[in-house]
Amino acid sequence: MKIGWFSFTCSEDSTILWIELMNDNFFKWKELLDIRHARVLKRNNTLKDIDVAFVEGAITTDRDAKKLMEIRKNAKKLVAVGSCAINGMPSAQRNLFDEKLKKEIAFLLVRFNQADKVRSIKEIVTVDDEVPGCPMDEGAFFRTLDKYLQEFGVTNAH
């Protein structure tokens, strides 16, 4: 199964957890997964022909929103990983700042080309599945992975 792992604005804990899971699963996954895009693992990445895109984090810039739409266009399935991707929080905290705080950070939004509002993945693209948790729940991740391995006709990993 061809997968991509993507991380937008967040603490990237689910990405770290995924890497940690490789301690036990690397050789199994090596046979089952063609990791076509994962900047945390490799330099040469492609967006082409991805079966399942796992996407972590919230969207804070228009540029990232476009990247996300590009991922969606190239992936048959898209899974929102972790709370920030699913509902924006806690990465979207600044959406809840009062007017005074919003004024205080306004120059930073300009300096770093930030959008006025932080958005979840779900606010921008259609999501096929969610792996909840902060960071992601391991069991839910395995269940989602297994579901798509079956759906794409790849032998079950667990």
Axis-axis angle for helices 13-32, 138-151 (nearest 10)? 30
Query: Is 14 an interacting residue with respect to ligand SF4 (CB under 6 A)?
Result: yes
* Interaction mask 117-146, ligand SF4, x per CB under 6 A: -----------------xx-----------
**Judged by CB, which is closer to ligand SF4: 11, or 32?**
11
- From CA 128, how far away is CA 93, in angstroms rounded? 25
Position among 84, 92, 121, 149 found at the interface with ligand SF4 (CB under 6 A): 84
What is the rounded CA–CA span in Å between residue 143 and residue 134? 17
Task: Single out the residue of 51, 54, 55, 83 in contact with ligand SF4 (rule: CB under 6 A).
Answer: 83
CB of 33 to ligand SF4, least distance (A): 21
Say how far residue 104 (Cα) sits from the centre of its chain. 29
Which of 82, 130, 131, 148 binds ligand SF4 (CB under 6 A)? It is: 82
Binds ligand SF4 (CB under 6 A): choice among 4, 8, 88, 91: 91
Indicate whether 88 belongs to the interface with ligand SF4 (CB under 6 A). Answer: no
Q: If binding is defined by CB under 6 A, does position 13 make contact with ligand SF4?
A: yes
Rounded Cα–Cα distance for residues 61 and 67 (Å): 10
Contact residues: ligand SF4, CB under 6 A: 10-11, 13-14, 56-57, 82-84, 90-91, 134-135
